[in-house]
Each structure stands twice: as C-alpha cells, then as structure tokens.
Amino acid sequence: MRSCIVPGCGGSEVNGHTPGKLAIVLGIRPDLIRASLILRRLQREARDDVVFVWSGQHYSDNLKDVFLRELDIDPPDIELGAVGSTDAEVVGSVVSKLYPLLADLRPAAVVFLGDTNTVMGSIAAGLLNIPVVHIEGAMRSYDWRMPEEKYRTLIDHVADVIYTYFDEYKAQAVGEGINPRNVVVVTNLIVDVLNHYYFGRPEYFEQLTSGSFFEDRGLERGEFYVMTAHRRENVEDATVLSNILDFLRDVARPVYFTASYRTQKNLAAFDLSLPDNVTMVDPIGYDELLALIVNSRGALTDSGTIVEETAILQVPSVQIRRATERPQVYDCGSSVKFDPSRPERYPAEVVIAKLESLYGKTWEHGLGDGKASDRVSEDLLRRLREDDFRGHEVEKHHLTEFVQRSHREDGLAVG
C-alpha cells in the first residue's frame, strides 16, 4: 500500500520535506516515452518513495493511456487535471494546482522533463523552496517564437539539478550563467527507449506489421511518408500552415499524417484543404507510430523526438523547423531542413530530392550509448538517499565573488 501520496496524508518532516519522497511531474506523451525507463526503474526499486503526478496536459486515451499501457508504466498516483484554452491558462492551472499538493507532500525534490507547459510547475516548487530537477535540460533552439524555448529556459534557471544530453548543451547552460556543477551530462534517453521498446522486440513488430496492416491504412510498405505537425509557430499561423500544405502538394508519394487535435482544429478554422495525397488521422499509439516510421520512405515532422528516433532507426526525415535544439540530426546527415516560414529558400523538389537520396543509407547517429536512463535513475536514487538535491545553496554557488559581496557584513563601526 502506498503512503503519503495525496494531500492530507501527513508524514513526518526532516529539514522541511518528507524523507525519501520524489515527486515526478509529467504531462504529455513524449514525456512518457523519454521518462519510461526511468519511471519503470524508480517504481521498481523505490516504489514507496516515488509519487507520479500527471498534469493533465494530455488526457485522452490515444494521447496518454495507450502510452502507459504500451510502455508498461504504472498509472499516475495523482492527476492534477490542469487544463485551459490558452498557454497562460494551462500554466496558471499547473502552478495553482501543484502548489498545494507540494506544500502538503513536501518531497525531497520535484522532477520535470522537457519543455512543455507542465514544466512551469517548477515555479510552484521554487516558491516552496523544494528543489527542482530538470531532465532533458539545457537544450536551446534560439528561436524565441517557440513557447517551448521560453519554458525550457525558465526551468533551467530554477532547477537545482539539470540532466542534459551532451557537453555542448552543458556549455549553453553555463554560457547563460547556470552553475556548471548543477548540470549532469547523461546522453540521449531516446536511444535507451528504442533499444528496449523497438530493437528488443523484433518479433512483436514483425507480427504487428504483417497481414493487412498497411492495406488497412491505404499504404504500401516503403512507399509513403509518415508525418506529424503540432508546433505553435507552424500550426497557429495560417500562412505558415498553408505553406506546409503547399509543400505537401509537391510531394509525389502518399503522406500519412497523424495530426494533433490543435492542428486539425486550425486546418478547419483557417479553411485549409489537405492535398489529395495526404491521409489525415488522429494521434496514434507509440507502437503503431514506430511501425509506420520504420516501414516508411521517410518522416516529415516538427517533432524533436521523432527526428531523433528516425536518426536512430536509420530512417531519413524532413525537419519542419526554422531552428532546432537538436542539431545532431544534421551532424549525422539523417535529416533535411524545411522552414515553412521561408518556403522560397527551401523548394519542395530540392527538399524531397535530398530526402530520397538518404533512403537506404546508414549513418552513425552519435546520440548516446543506451545507458542514459540508468545514469539518471542511479543519480536520482543516490541523491534521494543522501538528500543531495539543493543546487542553489550559497556554499555551492560558482560566482563566489558576487555571493560574498551579497552576504557581506555592513563593515560599520559601533558608535
């Protein structure tokens, strides 16, 4: 039986927090994918010490529950139900609902992942002087149009501990004035996830894609592109979204578009019609998405997770972005750039020719060694045992000269 996982359950406190409790707050399906192996290990090795909180940003079965089932993750202990019609309303709801929960729970630390509305719950933890841990931190696209860029920048400056993927990401954080001792390089979690859920189950995926799998979807193996698009700067601007559709009209192959609900709503609101070669469907589960990607000609996407997954799976991609926090996919040569806000610089025939030239090629992705989730899990468990989360303490600060000036005595003589 779990203990102390809901407001009002009590529990003794040491140094202002409940001993041994770690709150993990997630809110969207990519969070579940990246955190899956970490959650599974923590729930296995420290079950009574981990409180899994779901913010409610994604709440339908095909955006949440199917991922819990397929990734074999225990359901959340607490559901905040933080929703809203705008980013401001969602952020306000996450902060206002998480604050009283954390005030009652008083965990040793609160763990967030990624760069969505949910990570703004770190404000609630910060206000309560509860340490904040940010997994997948220190990434930057340097495209300030993106709400995600603001969210990840803000939480990194609140966080006591940042788990980042690469040394270059750590350098970005240090360049912003973040204490280098608070940034831990672990490599990319998605390598571990694919090793476990895809490469570790070849028979399952062979069976999944047998029979009428492609016929039922109107597709032919290896002769279609799979597509996603969800980013605000792409789908909430009528001109940009129209430019994406114009690009698709010049694509000579079928496109299987798993569209976010926001994208579907905006297509209708902007009165935009899909090209004849595009089949649009609701969001799908992780297993189905992986099966489609590995059997496609390539992926067209603005998803950071998918461009990394395709790099690892040896599937080419088009990254529908002006700028990316994941330039490694260009480094390894797995992805082609298309900026829909400046389509004249990226003619469709050139982009697709580049994409087609990558089909059948292989590359070294360089994203990680498959041990990132273990590194994060082991470090979290150690910090939990040793109560070693507070990275903003004065004695740990790296700007010693300025800290000493702020904490100096007045220097005045008496009388």
Reported as a single tens digit per residue, the pLDDT across 352-381 is 999 999 999 999 999 999 999 999 999 999
Residue 365 lies in a domain: no
Cβ-based neighbours of 64, under 8 Å, separated by 6 or more = 29, 32, 54, 58
Span 46-54, average pLDDT = 92
Q: Are strands 317-319 and 255-258 parallel, antiparallel or unpaired?
A: unpaired
Give the bridge partners for 258, in sequence order: 281
**Pair of tokens at residue 118:** 């949910």
Q: Is residue 386 part of a domain?
A: yes
Together in a domain, 41 and 139: yes
Q: What angle do CA 138, 142, 145 make, to 5 degrees?
A: 115
What is the DSSP-derived secondary structure letter of residue 64? I
- Asked if 45 and 179 sit in the same domain, the reply is yes
Query: Domain check: are 352 and 383 in the same one?
Result: no
| CATH code, domain carrying 336 | 3.40.50.2000
pLDDT of residue 64: 63
**Residue 56: closest CA among 35, 25, 33, 86:** 25
Burial of 61 (0-12, 13-18, 19+ CB in 10 A): exposed
**Are residues 312 and 380 located together in one domain of the fold?**
no
146 and 40 within one domain: yes
Q: 343 near 250, Cβ under 8 Å?
A: no
Q: Is residue 5 part of a domain?
A: no
Mean residue pLDDT across the chain: 92
The per-residue pLDDT for range 216-269, each reduced to its tens digit, is 999 999 999 999 999 999 999 999 999 999 999 999 999 999 999 999 999 999
288 with 383, same domain: the answer is no
* Claim to verify: residue 182 and residue 324 sit in the same structural domain: no
Report the alpha-carbon distance of residue 281 to residue 264 in Å, rounded.
9
Q: Which of the four pLDDT bands, split at 50, 70 and 90, describes residue 16?
A: low
- % helix, strand, coil for the chain, step of 5: 45, 10, 40
CB 363 within 8 A of CB 342: no
- How long is the chain? 415
Residue 75 lies in a domain: yes
The CA distance from 170 to 113, in Å, is 16
- The verdict on residue 50 lying in a domain is yes
Q: What's the pLDDT score for residue 214?
A: 97
* Percent of the chain's residues with pLDDT above 70: 93
Does the structure show a pLDDT above 50 at 2?
no
pLDDT in tens, 277-313: 999 999 999 999 999 999 999 999 999 999 999 999 9
Strand partners, 23: 51, 110
Residues 51 and 183 in one domain: yes
Same domain for 182 and 269: no
Question: Would residue 413 count as lying in a domain?
Answer: no
H or E segment to which residue 306 belongs: helix 304-313
Report how far residue 337's alpha carbon sits from residue 354's, in angstroms, rounded to the nearest whole number.
9
| Residue 199 CB contacts under 8 Å (≥ 6 apart), including other chains | none
pLDDT score, position 11: 41
Number of domains in the chain: 2
In a domain, 197, yes or no: no
pLDDT of residue 5: 33
**Residue at 363 is within a domain:** no
Which residue, among 130, 66, 59, 58, has the nearest Cα to 101 in the 3D structure? 130
Q: Could you tell me the pLDDT band of residue 18, with boundaries at 50, 70 and 90?
A: low
Q: Do 180 and 37 lie in a common domain?
A: yes
- The stretch 54-79 carries a mean pLDDT of 76
pLDDT over 50 at 390, yes or no: yes
pLDDT in tens, 191-215: 999 999 999 999 999 999 999 999 9
The first and second tokens of residue 17, run together, are: 């927090």
Encode 109-120: b = buried (16+ Cβ within 10 Å), e = exposed.
Answer: bbbbbbbbbbbb
Owning domain of residue 109: 22-187+371-405
Residues 298 and 214 in one domain: yes
Q: Do 354 and 376 reside in the same domain of the chain? A: no
Q: How many CA atoms lie within 13 A of 352 on its CB side?
A: 15
Cβ atoms of 302 and 282 within 8 Å: the answer is: no
